Amino acid sequence: MEERKKNLYSAVQPTNNLTIGNYIGAVQNWVELQDGYNCFFAIANMHAITVRQNPAELRQHTLELLALYIACGINPEKCVLYLQSHVPAHAELCWVLNNYTYVGEMERMTQYKDKSAKHADNINMGLLDYPVLMAADILLYQTEAVPVGRDQRQHLEIARDIAIRFNNAYSPTFAVPEGIYVKGGAKICDILNPAKKMSKSAENPNGSIFMSDDRDTVIRKFKRAVTDSEAEVRYDAENKPGISNLLSIYSVFSGKTIEQAEAEFAGKGYGDFKLAVGEAVADKLTPIQAEQAKLLKDRDYLNGVLKSGAERASYTANKTLAKVYKKIGFIQL
């Protein structure tokens, strides 16, 4: 008898361009996970509006992200690939779960503190409530596995706490999700400031390598990457953060281990090494960008993917929501 696949959920916001850090930390892993799990992959446009968005740009970024997912190898026939706002159950379950979540828990969230500091003129309820919507995203699909990076652990813990709290109040309703923690390349840092994570909203875009950067831009940025005063390509995250970050990137994009990369560049200068990192990244991005551009010209196909994804996601989400409504005493037609 074939073992039942576990349900897995993950999502990315369609804001700005994804960086290679997002690719390594999320999308590349999704491609590997889609065969071993029942995967629900969302474009989280409801989360995106906690910060003011240009509507036309948000629509365009959404389609670009959908095309990028598919170009990277995410197969809409193997997984449920959908747009968060196409499944109203996300917002409906979020409202219910708000009543099983405490204000103090939300005010302690690191992301709320960080974004409040960055957007002091727009500290809205969506920003505070963001983790509850994320909990609803996860719990709607009876999710058992969530791939998470270091900066998302707090959100997963809140989702687990809310699920356990609700289950204890009524009876088992939600699966309590477990995290899948990415090993290699889990955190890719800014190439100009390796003390910071590479970000798609960084103040200096030259420190981030975007999935949309052309070959010349990628190589130019890597040539300017921060290194150190030594002349040895060696992994030492504490004493050589810049070189160690570049080694991590090279390892992922070349398919070589850190040790193999160190041996390859033994006795060579940093200039040769940085050029090789840039070429390895550009070699990987070029065919992805070409496929993304081709998909963006086929709007009928992309709309079909979103329609099918919304229907399949809604089927599972609505079953969970109906169960929740019954437990809390809502009369259903």
Could you list the active site residues?
115, 197, 200
Q: Mind giving me the DSSP string for 221-278?
A: HHHT----SS------TTT-HHHHHHHHHHHHHH---HHHHHHHTTT--HHHHHHHHH
User: Cα–Cα distances in Å, from 206 out to 209, 279, 320, 324?
Assistant: 7, 17, 44, 47
82: enclosing H helix or E strand: strand 80-83
Q: Are strands 38-43 and 145-148 parallel, antiparallel or unpaired?
A: unpaired
Q: Are strands 145-148 and 178-181 parallel, antiparallel or unpaired?
A: parallel
What is the distance between the alpha carbons of residues 74 and 23, in angstroms, rounded to a whole number?
Answer: 12
Contact indicator for 85, 44 with CB cutoff of 8 Å = no
Provide the β-strand partners of residue 8.
Answer: 39, 145
Angle at 305 between CA 301 and CA 309, to 5 degrees: 170
